[in-house]
């Protein structure tokens, strides 16, 4: 059995180091921008303060950022903590509702996961933004600004059968 903690506030980051010292396996960072600290900043600091604990988004929300931006964010964290990173994503029930918006629809969620997964695998993917589709991929990987050499598992959050189906089809696990 594996154990994890959730850390949503920048002033709680010592908690992640403490959890690591106690033998915890995972630290999850929520992407609820109007309630918690910034997900990428807190994960970056935690990555630098720890050695073994796995660090990941719990959950990154498609409605808050573009898929290439999310892929870059988690690959940047992977550069700081190679091989200790996972990418959790969900439709954003809480995060989106704090802005008066519904969660991401399943078709859009699937597209988000497809693009993130392809980019993290080092592939060129077709990406559509504002009605224009263009092939994209990470550039200048030899500079080392991100790490996609160490695999980043994709964990898909979902309560319903369609979201859980996406986890089975595109993800490495379900939340």
Helix axes 67-80, 106-120, angle to 10 degrees: 40
Determine contact, residues 84/46, Cβ cutoff 8 Å. no
- Give the model's pLDDT for residue 15: 92
Q: Mean pLDDT by 10-residue block, N- to C-terminus, for the chain (175 residues)?
A: 94 92 97 95 96 97 97 98 98 94 96 98 98 97 97 94 92 94
User: In this predicted structure, what is the pLDDT of residue 165?
Assistant: 92
Take residue 162 and report the two structure tokens written for it: 């369609």
Q: What is the pLDDT of residue 12?
A: 86
For residue 2, the model assigns a pLDDT of 92
Nearest alpha-carbon partner for 43 in 69, 9, 94, 89: 9
Tell me what pLDDT residue 149 has. Answer: 98
| pLDDT tens sequence across 108-150 | 999 999 999 999 999 999 999 999 999 999 999 999 999 999 9
- Could you tell me the pTM of the whole model? 0.96
The residue assigned the tokens 């898909």 is 156
pLDDT at 139: 97
Q: What is the pLDDT of residue 13?
A: 81
């Amino acid at each position: 059995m594996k154990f994890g903690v959730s850390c949503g506030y920048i002033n709680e980051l010592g908690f992640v180091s403490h959890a690591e010292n106690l033998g915890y396996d995972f630290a999850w960072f929520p992407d609820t921008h109007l309630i918690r600290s910034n997900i990428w900043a807190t994960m970056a600091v935690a990555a630098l303060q720890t050695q073994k604990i796995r660090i990941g988004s719990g959950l990154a929300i498609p409605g808050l950022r573009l898929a290439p931006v999310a892929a870059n964010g988690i690959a940047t964290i992977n550069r700081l903590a190679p091989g200790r990173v996972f990418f959790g994503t969900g439709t954003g029930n809480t995060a989106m509702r704090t802005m008066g918006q519904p969660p991401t629809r399943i078709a859009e969620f699937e597209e988000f996961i497809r693009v993130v997964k392809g980019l993290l695998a080092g592939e060129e993917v077709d990406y559509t933004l504002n009605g224009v589709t263009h092939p994209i991929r990470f550039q200048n990987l030899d500079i080392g600004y991100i790490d996609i050499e160490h695999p980043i598992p994709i964990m898909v959050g979902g309560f319903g059968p369609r979201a859980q189906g996406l986890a089975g089809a595109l993800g490495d696990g379900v939340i």
